[in-house]
Amino acid sequence: MITGLSHTPLQTIYIYPHHFHALHQHVSFTLSLSLSLSFKVVKPKTMASHSFVSIKIVTNFLLLLSFLIAASAGNFNQDFDITWGDGRAKILNNGALLTLSLDKTSGSGFQSKKQYLFGKIDMQLKLVPGNSAGTVTAYYLSSQGSAHDEIDFEFLGNLSGDPYILHTNVFTQGKGNREQQFYLWFDPTKDFHTYSILWNPLSIIFSVDGTPIREFKNLESKGIPFPKNQPMWLYSSLWDADNWATRGGLVKTDWTQAPFTASYANFNAQACIWSSGSSSCSSNSSGNSWLTQSLDTTGQQRKQWVQKNYMIYNYCTDAKRFPQGFPPECSLA
């Protein structure tokens, strides 16, 4: 869950015991969405012979279960195709874990089986440990073509003991140049951490372990393009970029440390699937609360805390790069 997002209220839904088997399947499905569930079996006075389950869950829970949105239970065999790497990418533990590897010959990568047009995407990553200089682990949404849209997380490796750089970017209609970079407030190589993209018609929010770090608002009314018409696939890759990734290319990849390995787990997608020219959310979006989520005051404060303490580059303050003036979204946002 992203801290600082507004959410729909909880309600209580009563389900009888003979429905519990089917309910169990739906509960497992819903748990993968990181929703908050609580259960209790009670015997009200008016129905002493019938125990039933009370489930607290977000309003319109049943609409969620109608599959108007897509939800992934985190099985990489079901959700992704390995697209390149000649065996360097592996799906392990019955689909619960995916690893990408890089050596001097090749890196590796994977792609989602489905396209999305808006969604809340979560992925846990554990990055390349040790001397990862020259390597890039990319995790991003993208459409295709020269006028493509794209939403990027890229993790730029570094020498042992030096921090990773988290590089973010947003492309609209083939135009990027909207980079913001951050240090992280933890070691991303020791444990898995959750990196999230919330993409809805209002904004794009990048989050790390539920803490928002960046927001790109929909300012189409001001003439600034926003990704809203092109469905995207989710991609990830581990590759060699020692010509630019670490200190502008001054530090090269140490191939004696190869193979380099990044690990992935617990993929979740609350999203509108695009298929055959239509969206799975087009018929009814009333149960998709993430479609209207935005940062509240707490979320804005947490984002500002990250940007004050951990942001190391912002295109909106790079006067040398934009001598004719900053991009318009910099002042409007």
Strand order in the sheet with 165-171: 80-84, 108-112, 233-240, 135-142, 150-156, 165-171, 180-182, 311-314
- Side chain identity, residue 262: A
The Cα–Cα gap between 149 and 215 comes to: 16
The Cα–Cα gap between 237 and 260 comes to: 12
The Cα–Cα gap between 65 and 293 comes to: 20
Is residue 133 within 8 A of residue 242, CB to CB? The reply is: yes
Helix, strand and coil percent figures for the chain, each rounded to 5: 20, 40, 40
Residues 6+ apart with CB under 8 A from 18: none
> Going along 145-218, which residue ranges are E strands?
150-156, 165-171, 180-182, 193-199, 203-208, 211-217
User: What residue has token string 């490796």?
Assistant: 157
- Residue 95: phi, psi to the nearest 5? 95, 0
Q: Which of 154, 179, 215, 220 is catalytic?
A: 154
Is residue 42 within 8 A of residue 255, CB to CB? The reply is: no
Residue 329 among the catalytic residues: no
Residue 150 among the catalytic residues: yes
Residues noted as catalytic: 150, 154
